[in-house]
């Protein structure tokens, strides 16, 4: 049974309200969730690659040094690609609209401190 025009319009309005209220939920459904663990894994690969690179330099083994460089490069690519998505998620969370009454729609307890910080930055 197809939806009527009124039902389609109501559904679109509900989707827009949900996207404005909880952008993290929408990104979860889209499969575009930034992963903090991937960023940490990327930085770990960078460090491991640097150690392997220096190990290759100390032992004077060029293939080991090249492998260390490749590991560091792969870690940098992994960290940078996921760091951008993680920063966007943080920016979206900060820009979420506040509910009437000053609370951030059931957000964490630190919202009061964040509001105070924002006021302090704008008053200067």
Nearest to 75 by CA among 34, 37, 46: 46
Residue spans per domain, the chain: 1-33, 34-94
The predicted-structure confidence for 47-83, as pLDDT tens digits, reads as follows: 999 999 999 999 999 999 999 999 999 999 988 888 7
CA distance 90 to 71: 28
Is-above-0.75 flag for pTM? no
Average of per-residue pLDDT across 16-23: 76
- Among residues 118, 121, 84, the alpha carbon closest in space to that of 98 is found at 118
Please choose, from the candidates 89, 103, 114, 109, the residue with its C-alpha nearest in 3D space to the C-alpha of residue 25: 89
pLDDT category at 104 given cuts 50, 70, 90 is: very low
CA distance 72 to 43: 9
């Amino acid at each position: 049974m197809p939806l009527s025009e009124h039902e389609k319009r109501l559904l679109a309005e509900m989707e827009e309200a949900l996207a404005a209220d909880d952008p993290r939920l929408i990104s979860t459904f889209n499969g575009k969730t930034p992963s903090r663990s991937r960023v940490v894994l990327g930085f770990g690969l960078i460090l491991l690659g640097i150690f392997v690179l220096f190990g290759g330099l100390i032992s004077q083994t060029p293939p080991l040094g090249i492998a260390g460089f490749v590991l560091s490069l792969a870690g940098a690519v992994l960290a940078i690609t996921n760091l951008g998505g993680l920063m966007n998620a943080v920016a979206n969370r900060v820009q979420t609209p506040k509910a009437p009454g000053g609370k951030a729609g059931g957000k964490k307890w630190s919202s009061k401190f964040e509001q105070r910080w924002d006021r302090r930055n704008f008053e200067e």
